[in-house]
Amino acid sequence: MLEVYYQYLKMDLLEYQAKELFREQGIPTLPSQRIDQPSDVKDLCIPYPVVLKSQVRAGGRGKAGGIKFVANTIDAIAAASSIFSLAIMGEFPQVLLAEAQYDTEQEIYLAVALDYQLGLPVLLGSAQGGVNIEKVVEQMQQVIIDQQFSSFYARRLAIKMGLTGHLIISVSQLVEKMYRLFIAKDLELVEINPLAVSSTGELMALDGKITVNDQAIARHKNLRELAASNLQVSDWRLGLGRWKILNLEGNVAVISNDNGLGLATLDSLYQARTKPISYLTLPNNHLSTHLQEIVETLPLDLDQVTQLKGLEVILINIVGSRELVHTIQQAVIRYLQSRGESTTTVTAVDRTERPTASRSVRDRIRSKPLTANRCPRFVLRLVSPEEVTVSEDLAALPVVWIADLPSAIAAAATFTKGKK
Amino acid sequence: MNLATTNKILIQGISESEHHYLTEMQGYGTNLAAIVTPGQGGTTLRGVPVFDLVEQAVAAIHNIDITLIFSPAHGVLDAALEAIDGGIRQIIVITGGIPPLDTVRLLRKARATATIVIGPGSTGMIMPGKLLLGIQNPHFFSPGGVAIVSCSSGLTYEVALTLTQSGLGISLNLNLGRDNILGTDFYQCLEFLQADLGTEAILLLDHSNSGNNNLYLDSRLEIDKPIVAYVAGYLLPGEKQVPEIGSVIASQFASTVATTSNAKMKINNLKKSKIPVADYPQQIPDLIKKAISLHKK
């Protein structure tokens, strides 16, 4: 089941992971060492002074205190302890990176990204790299890879960036390595910022960012392992799995089987002066296994959304085959029956056997006692061109069955207003 | 696009759990000429000869018009390149969720060979009562004069039912696909729809999360048929694009967020082109009827 959730998570690799991939590709990085706990710094193989860096995905870690320079072991242990206990944008580091310091003459920005608007990869470069985003942006140059890649694209970028002499060669060769990495690993983004240029013209990737493409990750085993090790409970709790949050003040959640249909349903709710809280589009593909996937994941989806405080109504708007409509009807009935009508607590007991990995994450989420809210009302609008059998089990459950969309919207609106 | 009920259709990479789509298409009269499933060459499936390679299928069945690709996402690029190599110039990619860099490679090859690619993630197309290509549920559609071009399947079904209820039928429905990078956009369909004799009016269905450049229409639109549009998701608050992935810096220079499209911007573009835009799906039939009667004057 964890498989399903992979595709909804951000897949930024951490700096030390990105640098491992850089090294494989021959992109120069500093000697560094991974620190799993403060006492690890006693066994540092890098000579002092060193930099200790918090390994979190959030930006702005320098300003937040996640990067410290240390000159000896005593300082290093203290600094490591403080970085480990510092959350940046709600994320605690599981790992620190200890790295040698570097004498920098110039800092450059380089990136290879997939541009979805163009449907093509682009090379980005700024002769001014570093943390001052405005300065970086001011001098940004772009080269579109509109044909098969060749080295001249990288040289074109170097020239546009205003580089001269030997730097044209060395930087464009580095860009080419970044591009090869981008293609080899099916990435969304490879970024080096800053790329340091030393007084002797030597290049060094001081910080790096790699974003993995979620649709391609299945064919890159090592990327899957790296990304999975970064999973944090916060991803699940804050992100509410696959739900998209619209407005926490709202009180209707929408489930549909298609992006366009879901958005049309939300528009209609707004027109009826009802506030949607969140929405979910069920995975939509042509394989028969996808019905099984819905059966497995819908209970978790519903568990997640019913934790939202203001939720009053769940509107399920499905237009599709008879099998789909039947599957969803049965899944909702089973969910409500298993939950029980006079729900006061949600038990932490697993409902079905699951792979160990997903259980552990789910148990971690549930280790906090859930304050179970009153069960929301369900408005089911399940439409198929063939005859749909409405189950008798629905009568005993907090569910209304409505066939046409305007009436379903009106029902959802009435339920929310009636409760105020 | 070159479409006729006599078109010879090739099927690539279909798995056993999808065989019912073959039955559905055949029941609709679609001319399934060949199936390519590596390892099963020499057999037949639902009366259709199976080949190991596209080149063998092309040698045995001349002039294949269209291929439908059902291969798993990571095999789509290979299947499409094999079809292009076999001389097939119209490809519908049913499978969605293709690794984007594979799509980039496929579309580059398609441009170089003048191949039309619909999708990835297309449910295919239907001409009600005449032709079914792909995995759409034909029972939602009744024959008539409205052509629907869409990148959403559930919303299309919803609208098709509404049209049927108000006495309007469908000349054809073409699904452009649900992936973020698509081979064909709305604009590229218009020439074909202009020429299609069965089409009296055109309905564009889009939504704020769709990929690509869909609906970047401009006023130079040269088409002599009424067009009506609906863009779902335009009332959603805060459509500002927060780059969830990648770098804040890079996202200012490259559209690294997959869904850069903005419903309100699309609607403005449509209105500039004097195309009526529905506020909600149930309004569409009236807008179409009005557009048709205005056009006749």
CATH number, domain containing residue B57: 3.40.50.720
- Pick from B153, B230, B247: which is nearest to A209 by CB? B247
> In this predicted structure, what is the pLDDT of residue A238?
46
* Lowest-confidence region among A82-91, A256-265, A285-294: A285-294
Bond prior to A49 in cis (omega within 30° of 0): yes
* Lowest-confidence region among A57-71, A202-216, A356-370, B256-270: A356-370
- Pick from B151, B154, B257: which is nearest to A261 by CB? B154
- Pick from A115, A209, A271: which is nearest to B255 by CB? A115
In chain A, which residues have their Cβ closer than 8 Å to the Cβ of B103? 119
> Beta strand pairing status for B201-207 and B227-232?
parallel
- Is A289 within 8 Å of B234 when comparing Cβ atoms? no
Residue A240: left (phi > 0), alpha (psi -120 to 50), or beta? Answer: left
- Is B249 within 8 Å of A193 when comparing Cβ atoms? yes
In chain A, which residues have their Cβ closer than 8 Å to the Cβ of B137? 320-321, 385
Tens of pLDDT, residue by residue over B125-171, are 999 999 999 999 999 999 999 999 998 999 999 999 999 999 999 99
Q: Do residue B162 and residue B224 come from a single domain?
A: yes
Confidence of residue A367 (pLDDT cuts 50, 70, 90): very low
The CATH architecture annotation of domain A1-29+103-230 reads 2-Layer Sandwich (3.30)
- Tally Cβ neighbours within 10 Å of residue B282: 18
Q: Is the pTM of this model over 0.90?
A: no
- Is B250 within 8 Å of A191 when comparing Cβ atoms? yes
Last residue of a domain, one of B89, B118, B147: B118
Token pair of B106, please? 């496929």
Residue B126 within a domain = no
- Pick from B70, B155, B161: which is nearest to A260 by CB? B155
Quote the percentage of chain A above a pLDDT of 70.
Answer: 85
Q: Which residues contact A117 (CB under 8 A, 6 or more apart)?
A: B212, B213, B255, B260
SS3 category, A256:
strand
Q: Do residue B196 and residue B84 come from a single domain?
A: no
Interface of A with B in 61-100 (CB under 8 A): none
Q: What is the mean pLDDT of chain B?
A: 89
> What residue in B sits closest to A184 (Cα-Cα)?
B101
- Is A189 within 8 Å of B154 when comparing Cβ atoms? no
- Pick from A10, A188, A320: which is nearest to B157 by CB? A320
Residue B182 within a domain = yes
- Is A286 within 8 Å of B161 when comparing Cβ atoms? no
Residue type, B187: Y
Q: Do residue B55 and residue B97 come from a single domain?
A: yes
The stretch A193-218 carries a mean pLDDT of: 91
- Is B246 within 8 Å of A215 when comparing Cβ atoms? no
- Is A114 within 8 Å of B180 when comparing Cβ atoms? no
- Pick from B17, B73, B253: which is nearest to A289 by CB? B17
> In this predicted structure, what is the pLDDT of residue A117?
79
Q: Are B209 and B165 in contact (CB under 8 A)?
A: no
Residue B127 within a domain = no
Quote the percentage of chain B above a pLDDT of 90.
Answer: 71
Residue B54 within a domain = yes
A191 has a chain B CB within 8 A of its CB: yes
Domain boundaries, chain A: 1-29+103-230, 31-101, 233-418
> Beta strand pairing status for A313-319 and B32-36?
unpaired
- Is B155 within 8 Å of A121 when comparing Cβ atoms? no
Last residue of a domain, one of B86, B118, B150: B118
Q: Which one, of B176, B171, B146, B123, lies nearest residue B284 by Cα?
A: B146
Residue type, A143: V
Token pair of B282, please? 């149930």
Q: Do residue B159 and residue B97 come from a single domain?
A: no
Last residue of a domain, one of B118, B151, B177: B118
- Pick from A133, A183, A267: which is nearest to B249 by CB? A133
Strands (E), A269-390: 276-281, 313-319, 377-383
Question: What domain range is B162 assigned to?
Answer: 137-296
Q: Do residue B152 and residue B111 come from a single domain?
A: no
- Is B249 within 8 Å of A109 when comparing Cβ atoms? yes
Residue A70, beta-bridge partner list: A50
Specify the CATH number for the domain of residue B164: 3.40.50.261
Question: Would the pLDDT of A340 be above 90?
Answer: no
- Is B250 within 8 Å of A124 when comparing Cβ atoms? yes
- Is A259 within 8 Å of B258 when comparing Cβ atoms? no
More confident residue, B2 or B172: B172
More confident residue, B251 or B233: B233
The CATH architecture annotation of domain A233-418 reads 3-Layer(aba) Sandwich (3.40)
Q: Do residue B107 and residue B142 come from a single domain?
A: no
The stretch A8-30 carries a mean pLDDT of: 87
Q: Are B170 and B227 in contact (CB under 8 A)?
A: no
To the nearest whole angstrom, how far is the Cα of B297 from the nearest Cα of chain A?
Answer: 32
Residue B89 within a domain = yes
Residue B289 within a domain = yes
Q: How far is CA A177 from CA A151, A153, A160, A219, in A?
A: 10, 12, 19, 21
Interface of A with B in 334-353 (CB under 8 A): none
Q: Which one, of B239, B219, B245, B227, lies nearest residue B292 by Cα?
A: B227
In chain B, which residues have their Cβ closer than 8 Å to the Cβ of A263? 155, 207-209, 232-233, 236, 263
- Pick from A12, A109, A289: which is nearest to B245 by CB? A12
Q: Do residue B78 and residue B163 come from a single domain?
A: no
Question: Would the pLDDT of A12 be above 90?
Answer: no
Domain count, chain B: 2
- Is A116 within 8 Å of B255 when comparing Cβ atoms? yes
Q: What is the 8-class DSSP label of residue B254?
A: S
Q: What is the mean pLDDT of chain A?
A: 84
Instruction: Return d(Cα B82, Cα B108) in angstroms, integer.
Output: 15
Tens of pLDDT, residue by residue over A212-240, are 887 888 888 888 888 777 765 444 444 56
ipTM of the complex: 0.91
Q: At the topology level of CATH, where does A31-101 sit?
A: Dna Ligase; domain 1 (3.30.1490)
Confidence of residue A293 (pLDDT cuts 50, 70, 90): confident
Residue B1 within a domain = no
The stretch A36-60 carries a mean pLDDT of: 90
Q: Chain B interface, mutation test: which of A8, A11, A107, A117, most B Cβ atoms within 10 Å? A: A117
Residue B161 within a domain = yes
A359's enclosing H/E stretch is helix A356-366
Which runs of consecutive H residues, i.e. helices, occur in A161-220? 166-184
Tens of pLDDT, residue by residue over B194-225, are 999 999 999 999 988 776 555 555 555 678 89
Confidence of residue B280 (pLDDT cuts 50, 70, 90): very high
